[in-house]
Amino acid sequence: MATVAVFGAGTIGCYVGGRLATGGVEVVFVGREHMAATLSRQGLTLSDLFGWKTKLTPSMLDFTSDPAAVAGADLVLVTVKSGDTASAADAMASHLRPSTPLLTFQNGLHNAEVLSDRLPGHPVLSGSIPFNVAQVAPGHFHQGSEGTPQVQRSPLLDPVREAFERGGLRLVEHQDFPAVQWAKLLFNLNNAVNALSGLPLRDELMQRPYRQVLAAAQREGLALLSEKHQHLARLTPLPAQWIPMLLETPDAVFRLAAKRMLDLDPLARSSMQDDLAAGRKTEIDFLQGEILDLAQRLNRQAPVNARLLQLVHTAEEGGRRNWSGDALLAQVRG
C-alpha cells in the first residue's frame, strides 16, 4: 500500500487526506502548528452534503509541521495556497526520495510548473478539486457541493487510483489538463464575488445581481480564451460558454434551470471568504489575476475582473467585504 504525504494540510489537504485515510491509505499530514494542535485535541471529523460523516481520532492521525515527513512518501499531494508553492517546494527539496511524484490539488494554472522548476527530477502532475470544502468547526471539514477530483492522466497514479476510490474520491483523468484548469478557473471567478458578498454560496447564487457580476467576469474570460484558441473541458452539464447566459436569467427561472448548480450545502462558502474572515492573504492574484495577465498578453482589457481584484485586495487590508448584489454590480459596471 502506497504512503501518501499531504503537504499543506489545511482545509482541502485535511479533507482529501482524511478521505484517503478512511480508505485504508497510510497518510502523513504536513501542515501548520496550529492545525497540528487542533487535530491533536479534536481529531479529524469529515462530512459531506449527502449525510456521510466520520471521525479519525488523534491516535489515528500522523500530523506534523516538519517537512522531513515527506521522506517516506510514495506520492506527495501538494495543497498549499498558490502563493506558497515555491516555498513549499524548497522546504521539501532535501527530503524527498529520488523521483517521488507530486500531485498538485491547488487553484490557479502554474503550480505544476513552479514545482517542476524547483524540484527537477520529480514528476509533477496537475489535479483539481471541483467541490467546496469548509472548516465548519475546529477539526471538522465539510464537503458542501458535488464533484470528484480531476487529474492529469498518468500511469504514476496506478498505485493510488483504487485507494482514492475506496476513500470516496474517484479520480477523473484527462489528457488535456490545461483545458480543465481554465474551465475550473472560470468557475472560481465566483470566489471573489462570494467573498465580497459575505454570504454562503447558495444564498449568493440565489440573487441575480451577484450572478450578473459573475456572468460579466466569466464573459471577459471566455472572450480572451476564445482569442487564445484555448479549449475548455466540459465539467458541468452545460458548456462553459453557456453558463453566463444561465446566470443572468431572473431568479425564478434560474432556480428551476440551475437546480444542480444550487445543490449546495447551506454551510458552503468560498475559501476566499474564509481567508478574508481570518485576515489571510487570498488567492485572488491566481484567479482574477490570471484573466488580467491573459488580457495583457493579448493587448486587451478585462475591467470587471480588474475591479473585483481591486476590491478583494482592499478587503484584505480591512476594507468592505459585505457588498450587496446591487452595490457590487454597480462597482463592476462603473
User: Residues 109, 185: contact at Cβ < 8 Å?
Assistant: yes
d(CA 62, CA 252): 48
Which residue shows C-alpha cell 500531485?
A: 103
- Do 27 and 157 reside in the same domain of the chain? yes
**The pLDDT value given to residue 262:** 79
- Do 129 and 190 reside in the same domain of the chain? no
Structural domain ending residue among the three candidates 175, 192, 224: 175
Cα-based angle 152, 86, 303 (whole degrees, multiple of 5): 80
- Do 146 and 276 reside in the same domain of the chain? no
Residue 311, pLDDT > 80, answer: yes
- Do 252 and 193 reside in the same domain of the chain? yes
- Do 294 and 200 reside in the same domain of the chain? yes
Q: Which residue type, as a one-letter code, is found at position 122?
A: H
In the chain, % of residues over pLDDT 70: 100
- pLDDT tens readout for residues 292-307: 999 999 999 999 999 9
Q: Which residue type, as a one-letter code, is found at position 12?
A: I
**The pLDDT value given to residue 151:** 97
**The pLDDT value given to residue 265:** 81
CATH number of 136's domain: 3.40.50.720
- Do 133 and 239 reside in the same domain of the chain? no
What domain count does the chain have? 2
Range of the domain at 164: 3-175
CATH number of 249's domain: 1.10.1040.10
Q: Within 10 Å of residue 165's Cβ, how many Cβ atoms?
A: 13
| 93, 96, 101, 102 alpha-carbon torsion, rounded to 10° | -50
**The pLDDT value given to residue 1:** 59
- pLDDT tens readout for residues 141-190: 999 888 899 999 999 999 899 999 999 999 999 999 999 999 999 999 99
Which residue shows C-alpha cell 440573487?
A: 207
Identify the H or E element spanning 172: strand 172-174
- Do 147 and 57 reside in the same domain of the chain? yes
**The pLDDT value given to residue 11:** 94
Angle, in degrees to the nearest 10, between helices 288-297 and 208-228: 40
Mean pLDDT score of the chain: 95
- pLDDT tens readout for residues 256-283: 988 877 788 887 889 999 999 989 999 9
Task: Find all residues with CB under 8 Å of 305, minimum gap 6, and list them.
Answer: 189, 217, 220, 221, 288, 291, 292, 295
- pLDDT tens readout for residues 223-265: 999 999 999 999 888 899 999 999 999 999 999 988 877 788 8
Of 329, 300, 296, the C-alpha closest to 223 is 300
Catalogue the long-range contacts made by 301-305 (C-beta closer than 8 Å, 24 or more residues apart): 302/220, 302/221, 302/224, 303/220, 303/332, 304/213, 304/216, 304/217, 304/220, 304/332, 305/189, 305/217, 305/220, 305/221
- Do 145 and 220 reside in the same domain of the chain? no
pTM for the model: 0.92
User: Residues 30, 70: contact at Cβ < 8 Å?
Assistant: yes
- Do 185 and 74 reside in the same domain of the chain? no
In the chain, % of residues over pLDDT 90: 90
Residue 14, pLDDT > 80, answer: yes
